[in-house]
Amino acid sequence: MDKMKLSRMAFYGYHGVFPEENKLGQRFYVDLELTLDLSEAGRTDDLAATVNYAEVYERVKRIVEGRPFRLIEALAENVASDVLHQYTNVNDVTVRVVKPHPPFDIHFDGVTVEICRKRESI
């Protein structure tokens, strides 16, 4: 199978367990890896034979910048579910959500959640 990757999409959201996170918000980064057959699109140069990544970006943006989730696991799950429901030619999707500045008094480059969902699991 072929892959389409959307890397380091940046959005501002209000996700987190702590009230300050829901009030102040912060930047989140999302990576998607879609597995699908791109051979027809490659042969025909036809957008209808693939996934419009600009459209995918807008769908992810609506989710991340929409209602707050307590957990980035839930945010990732919602993105994966939306992609698999909207794009029937996508066989599976990997979603990575990065919260670069979690509100802890420790120093590291953020926390990342990565989930993989297959079409048969929706």
Domain ranges of the chain: 2-121
Catalytic-residue membership of 99? yes
pLDDT at 122: 53
pLDDT score of 89? 96
What pTM value is reported for the model?
0.93
What's the CA gap between 120 and 122, in Å, rounded? Answer: 6
87, 76 Cβ separation under 8 angstroms: no
The one-character DSSP state at 89 is T
Catalytic residue, chosen from 3, 61, 99, 118, is 99
- Could you tell me the maximum CA-CA distance found in the chain, to the nearest angstrom? 53
pLDDT per residue as tens digits for the range 5-23: 999 999 999 999 989 889 9
What are φ and ψ of residue 82, in 5° steps? -60, -45
Spatial separation of the C-alpha atoms in residues 42 and 47, rounded to whole Å? 10
Report pLDDT digits (tens) over 86-108.
999 999 999 999 999 877 776 77
Phi, psi of 118 (to 5 degrees): -105, 155
Token representation of residue 86: 């909207």
CATH number, span 2-121: 3.30.1130.10
Q: What digits encode the pLDDT tens for the residues 26-35? A: 999 999 999 9
Three-state DSSP class for 41?
A: helix
